Structure 1
Amino acid sequence: MALHYHSSPILLLQLFFYFSVSFAAPRSNETAGGVRIWPLPVSVTHGGHHRFYVAKDFHLITEGSNFSDASRILEDGFSRLLDLVRVAHVVDANLSRFASSSLLHGIHIVVSSPSDELQYGVDESYRLSVPGPAPGKPAYAYLKARTVYGALHGLQTFSQLCSFNFESRVIEVRMVPWNIIDQPRFSYRGLLIDTSRHYQPLPVIKKVIDSMAYAKLNVLHWHIVDTQSFPLEIPSFPNLWFGAYSKQERYTIADATEIVRYAQRRGVSVLAEVDVPGHALSWGVGYPALWPSKDCQQPLDVSNEFTFRVINGILSDFSKIFKYRFVHLGGDEVNTTCWTVTPHIRNWLRKKGMKESDAYKYFVLRAQKIALSHGYELVNWEETFNDFGSELSRKTVVHNWLGTGVAQKVVAAGLRCIVSNQDSWYLDHIDTSWEQFYTNEPLQNIKDPRQQKLVIGGEVCMWGEVVDASNIEQTIWPRAAAAAERLWTPYDNLAKDPSQVFARLAHFRCLLNQRGIDAAPVSGLGRSAPWGPGSCFVQ
């Protein structure tokens, strides 16, 4: 059956983009040479024509003087590895026809730290080796890591060395021996999801976490609530989730605890955000006293002590669930008009001798003190730094989003920074290409090594206005993977021309598809459809 295409402007744009990209660099030398790993490790060497066939009883051997895997994080990670390398194929080969020296019997993992605490700055390094064939000696892959989370990254890398051979019906590791040394460039490698603009069901959030682990992203920034809805249960103030879209579009405390548990077992921390004082209209559905007035409903009422009691209750409940070092307090896009037109707040401002800009600073700094009292360090959007940066707590991480150049100013002031400049790392900007994601450099124009260390990492942001469960994955991937390599791989190993990694990124996108992740084609803009019939490896 032939397919006929109408020459719509969108289709013509897709065809032009596809041909301009794919003919420029249909296959990179790296992929032709066999290094298909994404993100690219610090150091990779491999052999030529030798290969191993993965034995049917491929098994895990663990070792470490103090490591016991009592929580079974590594054991569960290994079980997921087996599922990943099989990619749902039926491995039905008779392996007895292969020489014993050609079989890879298992993976030997050594973890030196007994702790399975996942926290900012945890050691994520690993060394992975797959030896060449040695007659008379059973072959094992070897993985060494300081922590179980480094070991999980090593397992992800090993999974990308494996491929299913459709002729022999067996899983292979080709081009042995392999020797890989790896560790992340930045400790914070984030992805934001927004569950206020559209509710995301728990299975969808879990799939996002799975896909993050595949790309070695390690922080899920959960923008839980906003103007439109308040879906999370807060035991201290149980009416807050009256602001959810519906009773079915909510998260219980047990749900949130499960998300944190699920993520932690995959090496992903959860950064919770409660954005104040703006972006909070939904809070007043359950507690109208939080609004400046019935007719002017945000930002939150700065003059009402009840406002800060609610924030304290939320952060108290957060501290029992979200154990990550940081909490995100927002602070962006605050329009103070409601404060100046509401009589009781206007009178309060006059008595305090404050302008509305002073009240904005007062609110942010007071919210910071509440968070600090619950043991958190702080993240705030960059407007807080732009307006009164010198008065922020020194435990503040400034979250850049408005544009480039902010990180340079933040670290010069001695504060830490997360880079998410919207011109390059906002996933809801559908017209931003993967090449822009790949080339966005967090340390741009920051030359002082001491200041470079204050950039703790970066984050791609999947704001939820135009995504729900039906399209979130294809909007995130593969562009988030381009940023993931920027955040993981040493600067000198990154391609200076993005076309050099097109084939390797296309391979990773196909791998995501094989693993059930709805990643969009590489040769297009965000959330684009395939341009026409063809292999996923060139689209």
Structure 2
Amino acid sequence: MRHRDRSSLTWWWMMCFHVVPFFPGSTAGPPYSYTVFQGVDAPGSDIEHANTKDIDALKSLCNNMTSCKGFNSNGWIKSDVSVRIPTKGCDVYLKVPTFGAPQAPLLPQPHTFTMGATTLSIGSKFGFVTDCQSVLLQQAFDRYQLLIFSHSYTSKSSSPLDTVYVVVHSPGEDLQLETDESYELNITASPPNSTLKAATIFGAMRGLETFSQLVTYNFAENAYEIHNASWFIEDEPRFQHRGLLIDTSRHFEPLRVIRNVLDSMSYAKLNVLHWHIVDTQSFPLQSLKYPKLWNGAYSSQERYSIEDVKDVVTYAKGRGIRVMPEFDMPGHAASWCIGYPDICPSSDCPQPLNPATNATFDLIEGFLKEMADVFGDNFIHLGGDEVNTKCWDKNPEIQAWLKMKNFTDDDAYKYFVSRAHQYAKNEQKTSVNWEEVFNHFGSTLEKNTVIHVWLNSKTAAKVVAAGYRCILSNSNRWYLPHLTVTWEQFYDNDPLASIEDAQQQKLMLGGEVCMWGETVDASDIQRTIWPRAAAAAERLWSLANVTDHDEMFLRLQSFRCLLTRRGVAAAPVENEEARSAPPGPGGCLSQ
């Protein structure tokens, strides 16, 4: 177990605390709230005894001490606060910056919200109601009814909450980068009433997820409840592109697993599945135009038909998630050559793809045209990374072609990228490329190109300064196979960290966490993704100043258990390495 200034705690404890908010500029005091854990042992570092046990006096003292992280009800001021399993010990008060509002038990945290102090009962005939004629929205209602109300229950309240009325201003079902995901959720306690307003059905889906996280089941009362009503939430994502890459070339992922990944993404409000579907190791994807391509699959059972892919795209859209395919070229493409050897330099040195023959470009053009109809997203990722041209140097035909064109290897690399971009453009698709393409060719690239930074986060500032849009996935922070990178490091990774100019900041589309497939398959993919991906999801959704580790830790513990209750195999938050098993017996929230 990694040693921290805090240990695991349960959502049950969260139900035991109350939040006392202070608002900047008001007469109530400085911008801190205090989360109270009742009757727990707190072995934190004691600074001093305050010579008082008066809680208000202790708060006032702690407010004015930068080193104070909290105190206990015995009067000890502390430089860190840890909590343990409930005992008969004293209460612990954790100091939390409010940034103008108290903290909510939601992940990702909404942009603005207010809450009250009433527990609101849910009626036994509760339902979502709307005038919006959308099949996708109705399917979302059905899905969230099952997610929220997993227990049979009754309502003993004479005045329960029976309905959430959902208002959608633009009922269209087109989902692209520009789609508005904002929403407003209002839950009043007296009288019980709730309205969810959204610009689009996809914004309404984000609001449904927020509502679902506010509902808890009371086993003692056999009732569903919403605590801290009334709630008023206004929310929207900080970044448009909030993605997760999965790699089905290094290990094949069954369709059921991909659907489960999509479900889990929607719970964290991620909205892009970057499907790195083929690579050097295998080509599992069917092409009707080039049927020999999937000869590169690992086996006849580790393949995706065209209809399979369409089903995934439809399933993802039903959860407000775009599917951006990646067909990496000219490198990372050896599996293409199994079915079509003419497009590769040689059988024993197969990549990068052969730029000296029209057969290569005819196949790429036809294949991208076909896939443009299968994947509806406006973005198509064309890779372009890690291009080692040694195989070109060994091929006499390619060498003769280079000489005829008066090309260097780098010229041929750019020529290849430019032709692939044109084919994508012909299909009204925006090309996305990995960072190396920008590093090699810079501002000579077509301005509509999106650059996906992974090698060095500081390159992002250069990309947007050159006028290109950017996606961040720096490998030292947002690569999920790096098991020793902690959730805190995921959380602290801000796409705008090195970009100060306001206009250039608008070119940062967001980011992705990357689940490369060398060491994951159906057995461990979800516990490698979660819960660390949730830390990145909040960074991409919530306001930039929502950064407190202690406060996030509480919500991340809760969210991890929400995932497990919903059938997502998320690993414990407190691990020496990501995806490690629980260290021993214990409740979900104490791991």
Give TM-score, length-normalised by structure 2. 0.84
Indicate the structure (1 or 2) with the bigger Cα radius of gyration: 2
- Which residue, out of 67, 70, 74, partners 2:137? 74
Shift of 1:533: 2.2
Q: Write the letter of the residue equivalent to 1:401.
A: W
2:181 is matched with which residue?
A: 124
Q: What are the equivalent positions in structure 2 for 1:196-235 lying under 5 Å apart?
A: 196-235=249-288
- Secondary structure of 1:112 counterpart: strand
The answer to whether the Cα contact below 8 Å between 1:30 and 1:36 also exists between their aligned partners in 2 is no
Is the aligned partner of 1:54 residue 2:105?
Answer: no
1:85 is matched with which residue?
A: 148
1:8 is matched with which residue?
A: none
Q: Which runs of 5+ in 1 are unaligned?
A: 1-14
2:162 is matched with which residue?
A: 105
The answer to whether the Cα contact below 8 Å between 2:260 and 2:568 also exists between their aligned partners in 1 is yes
The answer to whether the Cα contact below 8 Å between 2:119 and 2:226 also exists between their aligned partners in 1 is yes
| CA distances 1:341-384 after superposition (whole Å, capped 9, x unpaired) | 11111111111111111111111111111111111011000000
Shift of 1:31: 13
| CA distances 1:179-213 after superposition (whole Å, capped 9, x unpaired) | 00100000000000000000000010001000000
| CA distances 1:408-437 after superposition (whole Å, capped 9, x unpaired) | 000010000000000000001111110000
In structure 2, C-alpha distance between the alignment counterparts of 1:170 and 1:431, rounded to whole Å: 41
The answer to whether the Cα contact below 8 Å between 2:2 and 2:574 also exists between their aligned partners in 1 is no
The answer to whether the Cα contact below 8 Å between 1:25 and 1:502 also exists between their aligned partners in 2 is no
1:43 is matched with which residue?
A: 112
The alignment of Structure 1 onto Structure 2 pairs a total of residues equal to 507
- Secondary structure of 2:243 counterpart: strand
- Secondary structure of 2:536 counterpart: helix
Change (3 A) 1:386 1:219: same
Shift of 1:29: 6.4
Is the aligned partner of 1:500 residue 2:551?
Answer: yes
In structure 1, C-alpha distance between the alignment counterparts of 2:244 and 2:268, rounded to whole Å: 11
Change (3 A) 1:439 1:40: same
The answer to whether the Cα contact below 8 Å between 1:25 and 1:500 also exists between their aligned partners in 2 is no
Q: Write the letter of the residue equivalent to 1:40.
A: Q
The answer to whether the Cα contact below 8 Å between 2:531 and 2:573 also exists between their aligned partners in 1 is yes
| CA distances 1:48-67 after superposition (whole Å, capped 9, x unpaired) | 1x22221121122213xxx4
Shift of 1:68: 2.1
In structure 1, C-alpha distance between the alignment counterparts of 2:103 and 2:407, rounded to whole Å: 64
Shift of 1:295: 2.0
In structure 2, C-alpha distance between the alignment counterparts of 1:487 and 1:361, rounded to whole Å: 32
1:187 is matched with which residue?
A: 240
Q: Write the letter of the residue equivalent to 1:52.
A: L
In structure 2, C-alpha distance between the alignment counterparts of 1:56 and 1:500, rounded to whole Å: 33
Give TM-score, length-normalised by structure 1. 0.91
- Which residue, out of 302, 318, 326, partners 1:273? 326
Q: What are the equivalent positions in structure 2 for 1:150-189 lying under 5 Å apart?
A: 150-189=203-242
The answer to whether the Cα contact below 8 Å between 1:21 and 1:499 also exists between their aligned partners in 2 is no
In structure 2, C-alpha distance between the alignment counterparts of 1:431 and 1:158, rounded to whole Å: 33
Q: Write the letter of the residue equivalent to 1:278.
A: G
The answer to whether the Cα contact below 8 Å between 1:85 and 1:171 also exists between their aligned partners in 2 is no
1:305 is matched with which residue?
A: 358
Q: Cα RMSD over matched residues?
A: 1.7
Change (3 A) 1:269 1:310: same
Q: Write the letter of the residue equivalent to 2:143.
A: R
- Secondary structure of 1:423 counterpart: helix
Shift of 1:34: 7.1
In structure 2, C-alpha distance between the alignment counterparts of 1:161 and 1:469, rounded to whole Å: 31
The answer to whether the Cα contact below 8 Å between 1:439 and 1:498 also exists between their aligned partners in 2 is no
In structure 2, C-alpha distance between the alignment counterparts of 1:16 and 1:398, rounded to whole Å: 36
In structure 1, C-alpha distance between the alignment counterparts of 2:331 and 2:414, rounded to whole Å: 13
Q: Which runs of 5+ in 2 are unaligned?
A: 9-43, 45-79, 84-93
The answer to whether the Cα contact below 8 Å between 2:277 and 2:283 also exists between their aligned partners in 1 is yes
- Secondary structure of 2:412 counterpart: helix
Segment of structure 1 superposing worse, 74-83 or 253-262: 74-83
More contact order relative to length (CA 8 Å, sep ≥ 6)? 1
| CA distances 1:60-100 after superposition (whole Å, capped 9, x unpaired) | 2213xxx422xx111111111111112x3232x3x3x421x
In structure 2, C-alpha distance between the alignment counterparts of 1:501 and 1:29, rounded to whole Å: 13
- Secondary structure of 1:38 counterpart: coil
In structure 2, C-alpha distance between the alignment counterparts of 1:78 and 1:367, rounded to whole Å: 41
2:345 is matched with which residue?
A: 292
- Secondary structure of 1:131 counterpart: strand
- Secondary structure of 1:503 counterpart: helix
Q: Write the letter of the residue equivalent to 1:503.
A: L
In structure 2, C-alpha distance between the alignment counterparts of 1:34 and 1:488, rounded to whole Å: 16
The answer to whether the Cα contact below 8 Å between 2:461 and 2:498 also exists between their aligned partners in 1 is yes
The answer to whether the Cα contact below 8 Å between 1:39 and 1:489 also exists between their aligned partners in 2 is yes
Shift of 1:235: 1.1
2:579 is matched with which residue?
A: 527
In structure 2, C-alpha distance between the alignment counterparts of 1:499 and 1:285, rounded to whole Å: 52
In structure 2, C-alpha distance between the alignment counterparts of 1:300 and 1:428, rounded to whole Å: 28
Is the aligned partner of 1:456 residue 2:456?
Answer: no
Shift of 1:318: 1.1
Shift of 1:485: 0.2
Which of structure 1's runs of 4+ aligned residues deviate more than 4 A? 18-34
In structure 1, C-alpha distance between the alignment counterparts of 2:236 and 2:460, rounded to whole Å: 23
In structure 1, C-alpha distance between the alignment counterparts of 2:184 and 2:112, rounded to whole Å: 10
Report sequence identity in percent. 50
Q: Write the letter of the residue equivalent to 1:151.
A: A
Segment of structure 1 superposing worse, 310-319 or 242-251: 310-319
Is the aligned partner of 1:440 residue 2:493?
Answer: yes
Shift of 1:291: 1.5
2:76 is matched with which residue?
A: none
Shift of 1:172: 0.9
Q: Write the letter of the residue equivalent to 2:549.
A: P
The answer to whether the Cα contact below 8 Å between 2:5 and 2:81 also exists between their aligned partners in 1 is no
Q: Which has the higher helix share?
A: 1
Change (3 A) 1:460 1:228: same
